[in-house]
Amino acid sequence: MSDCTDCRLAAARVWHGHFWPCSNCCARAIARSLPFWSSRRAGKQLPEYRALLAAHKLTHEQVLDARRRDWLQCLARTDCAAQAAQSTREAYASTLAPEHKRATGL
């Protein structure tokens, strides 16, 4: 991890910002790019993806690592959102009369 503000924010939450001089930000941006995902679907590194790697002096492994960190952050946020939704559903269900609970399946 670098001292970059966008990297620090991306480590703490799902973050969209990228600071182009930062290699970690570049790797994260490339991991979200169309050439990266086209290469994943094709099962090989396509010329557009290799050109991005070369332009930013990054390796495929650096991009995969950035993708893994980004994905883990998204999963952590999704788990939190799912827990919050369940809590909201339980709180709502506790306000319903018994006949409404049966009707809504709560």
The mean of the pLDDT values for the chain is: 80
Q: What is the pLDDT of residue 46?
A: 97
Name the more confident of 85 and 70: 70
Name the more confident of 102 and 28: 28
Calculate mean pLDDT across residues 30-38.
94
Name the more confident of 78 and 50: 50
pLDDT at 104 over 80: no
Cα(10)–Cα(24) distance, rounded to whole angstroms? 10
Cα(35)–Cα(24) distance, rounded to whole angstroms? 18
pLDDT at 102 over 70: no
Cα(47)–Cα(51) distance, rounded to whole angstroms? 6
pLDDT in tens, 55-83: 999 999 999 999 988 888 777 666 655 66
Calculate mean pLDDT across residues 43-51.
96
Question: φ and ψ at 46, to 5 degrees?
Answer: -80, 160
Cα(83)–Cα(100) distance, rounded to whole angstroms? 23
